[in-house]
């Protein structure tokens, strides 16, 4: 496999499995197992499996009560930076939590006891738009608030909604409109936006990395990787990706993407950003934004790492293609650039002021 942490799971499991086992694992370029393999993407159904390979980014893909029962009743047989692996029956002697690998089990252990770890009366909702520096910001926030949960897709949120009182910090990888009605006046919604054209091109670069596993890609990411930019931007998927920030923050609850105009998205996004409990900042000023949030929300921020960044040398390979598509991109994301510029001006106006 391309990823050593995924390969480590396979290497551990292969000699432990028999023909009657059924492995449930996330979509990926897994080698052949000596038993049945079921792949999951958004939601997890453990009904027929004997071994669960649980991705740490997908805790919310099954009900928390069910995950707690698995943690209590199944054997913990492996854990690393990405996965925790469970077996319905005993596969190894002992329990991986009694080894040095317990450090890799702790994220799940904290998640299952999140209510006891709360520090705040109010909640923080963090909206993560891809390629805005959001992974680094999320890592910093989770160090400050161990009582947290992350929803990588709206299907997980709607199928397994959180008990809001259990968490200080809730991360979303989709429009926050779905949660607004459940928030109190003391709760906060925060997020970062990035210069739209740069964010879009960074997403294209990410999709074209040689180390990426195509089996984990969405339809949009696959098209981004395999199609010339001009052709990709002519599709509905490409047009959505080119203005993803505007749609994320400008989609009202039950609003139709097909019938809404760019002006409607912009109006909704601006109205959302002006709410009393919403703070958005430009990712190009992420350090200043983090310091501002720390003052406003009363926490000690962790250092921002440079996570999931593209290799600058790789950009040169696609430079000509990018340059030829810039005019098309900017014709599509005009309203998103207006929104971004508003966020930059708003942040400059409030930066440095005490809470």
Q: Which residues contact 279 (CB under 8 A, 6 or more apart)?
A: 188, 189, 190, 292, 293, 296
Predicted confidence at residue 354, as pLDDT, reads 46
pLDDT in tens, 264-279: 999 999 999 999 999 9
pLDDT in tens, 197-212: 999 999 999 999 988 8
Could you give the CA distance from residue 345 to residue 343 in angstroms, rounded to a whole number? 5
Residue with tokens 């897709």: 153
From residue 117, give the alpha-carbon distance in Å to each of 133, 160, 187, 223, 299: 26, 21, 18, 42, 15
Residue 270: left if φ>0, alpha if ψ -120 to 50, beta else—which one?
alpha
Could you give the CA distance from residue 102 to residue 76 in angstroms, rounded to a whole number? 10
Tens digit of each residue's pLDDT, the chain (355 residues): 889 999 999 999 999 999 999 999 999 999 999 999 999 999 999 999 999 999 999 999 999 999 999 999 999 999 999 999 999 999 999 999 999 999 999 999 999 999 999 999 999 999 999 999 999 999 999 999 999 999 999 999 999 999 989 999 999 999 999 999 899 999 999 999 999 999 999 999 999 998 888 989 999 999 999 999 999 999 999 999 999 999 999 987 555 566 679 999 999 999 999 999 999 999 999 999 999 999 988 888 777 776 666 767 777 778 888 888 999 999 999 999 999 999 999 999 987 554 4
What ranges do the domains of the chain cover?
Answer: 4-112, 119-350
Q: What is the DSSP letter of 191?
A: E
Element of type H or E holding 118: none
Among the listed residues 228, 211, 125, 119, the one whose alpha carbon sits nearest the alpha carbon of residue 175: 125
Predicted confidence at residue 260, as pLDDT, reads 78
Coil, strand or helix at 234: coil
Residues listed for the chain: 355
Q: Which residues contact 313 (CB under 8 A, 6 or more apart)?
A: none
Q: Yes or no: say if 155 and 42 are a contact pair by the CB < 8 Å rule.
A: yes
Sign of CA dihedral 137, 238, 215, 66: positive
Could you give the CA distance from residue 188 to residue 123 in angstroms, rounded to a whole number? 6
CATH 3.40.50.300, domain 119-350, yes or no = yes
What are the backbone angles phi and psi of residue 23, rounded to the nearest 5°? -90, 130
pTM score, two decimals? Answer: 0.92
pLDDT in tens, 146-178: 999 999 999 999 999 999 899 999 999 999 999
Q: Which residues contact 340 (CB under 8 A, 6 or more apart)?
A: 193, 194, 195, 196, 245, 282
pLDDT in tens, 229-257: 999 999 999 999 999 999 999 987 555 56
The secondary structure of 254-279 as a DSSP string is T--TTT--HHHHHHHHHHHHTSTTEE
User: CA 247, 131, 56: angle at the middle one, nearest 5?
Assistant: 100
pLDDT in tens, 93-102: 999 999 999 9
Sign of CA dihedral 110, 111, 116, 122: positive
């Amino acid at each position: 496999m391309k990823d050593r942490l995924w390969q480590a799971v396979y290497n551990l499991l292969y000699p432990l499995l028999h023909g009657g086992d059924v492995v449930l694992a996330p979509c990926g370029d897994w080698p052949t197992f000596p038993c049945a393999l079921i792949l999951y993407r958004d939601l997890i159904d453990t009904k027929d499996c004997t071994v669960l390979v649980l991705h740490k980014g997908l805790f919310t893909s099954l009900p928390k009560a069910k995950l707690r029962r698995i943690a209590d009743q199944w054997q913990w047989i492996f854990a690393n930076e990405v996965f925790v692996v469970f077996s319905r029956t005993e596969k190894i002697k002992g329990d991986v939590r009694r080894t040095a690998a317990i450090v890799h089990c702790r994220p799940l252990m904290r998640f299952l006891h999140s209510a006891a770890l709360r520090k705040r009366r109010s909640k923080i909702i963090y909206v993560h738009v891809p390629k805005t520096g959001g992974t680094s910001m999320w890592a910093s926030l989770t160090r400050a608030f161990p009582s947290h949960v992350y929803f990588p897709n709206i299907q997980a949120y709607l199928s397994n909604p959180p008990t809001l009182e259990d968490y200080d910090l809730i991360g979303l990888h989709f429009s926050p409109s779905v949660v607004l009605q459940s928030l109190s006046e003391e709760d906060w919604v925060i997020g970062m936006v990035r210069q739209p054209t740069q964010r879009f091109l960074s997403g294209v670069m990410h999709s074209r990395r040689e180390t990426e596993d195509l089996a984990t890609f969405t339809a949009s990411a696959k098209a981004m990787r395999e199609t010339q930019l001009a052709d990709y931007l002519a599709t509905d998927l490409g047009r959505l990706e080119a203005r993803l920030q505007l749609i994320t923050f400008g989609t009202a609850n039950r609003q139709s993407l097909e019938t809404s105009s760019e002006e409607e998205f912009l109006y909704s996004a601006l109205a959302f950003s002006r709410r009393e409990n919403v703070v958005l900042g430009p990712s190009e000023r992420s350090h200043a934004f983090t310091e501002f949030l720390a003052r406003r929300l009363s926490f000690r921020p962790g250092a921002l790492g440079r996570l999931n960044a593209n290799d600058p040398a790789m950009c040169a390979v696609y430079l000509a293609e990018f340059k030829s598509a810039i005019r098309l991109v900017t014709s599509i994301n005009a309203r998103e650039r207006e929104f971004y510029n508003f966020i930059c001006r708003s942040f400059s106006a409030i930066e440095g002021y005490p809470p």
